[in-house]
Amino acid sequence: MLFRALLAPLSSPMSQNYHARIYVTLRPSVLDPAGTAVQAGLKHMGYDNVEQVRIGKYIEVKLQAADEAAVRQQLDVMCDQLLSNPVIENYCFELTAIAPASV
């Protein structure tokens, strides 16, 4: 029941709008063949100073919540359940409150 409450959209007159920037990256112990291919391509282009390339995902989400703690908890559930694979990926996010538009 609590799980469904966390995933349900929270919209009420007292809600705050937020903008989340989510970064999903492979754990350091996981091989990154795409990163290795990009690094090889850069080396082929003459960028011999590139020591390592890791490929990840960047996701933007706009949502509403009663307060910052609620939105952070909801984002953690979203990332754990859908946006990342916790076995091989790490995630972090930046959260910004969006000021209400003036009329």
Give the dihedral sign, CA 38/44/45/49: positive
**What is the predicted pLDDT for the residue at 3?**
45
The percentage of the chain sitting over the pLDDT mark of 90, rounded to a whole number, equals 81
**What is the predicted pLDDT for the residue at 32?**
98
Beta strand ranges found along the chain (DSSP E):
16-26, 56-65, 89-98
Q: Which residue has the tokens 């009420």?
A: 12
**What is the predicted pLDDT for the residue at 13?**
57
Assign domain 2-98 to its CATH architecture.
2-Layer Sandwich (3.30)
Is the confidence at residue 46, as pLDDT, over 80? Answer: yes
Is the confidence at residue 5, as pLDDT, over 60? Answer: no
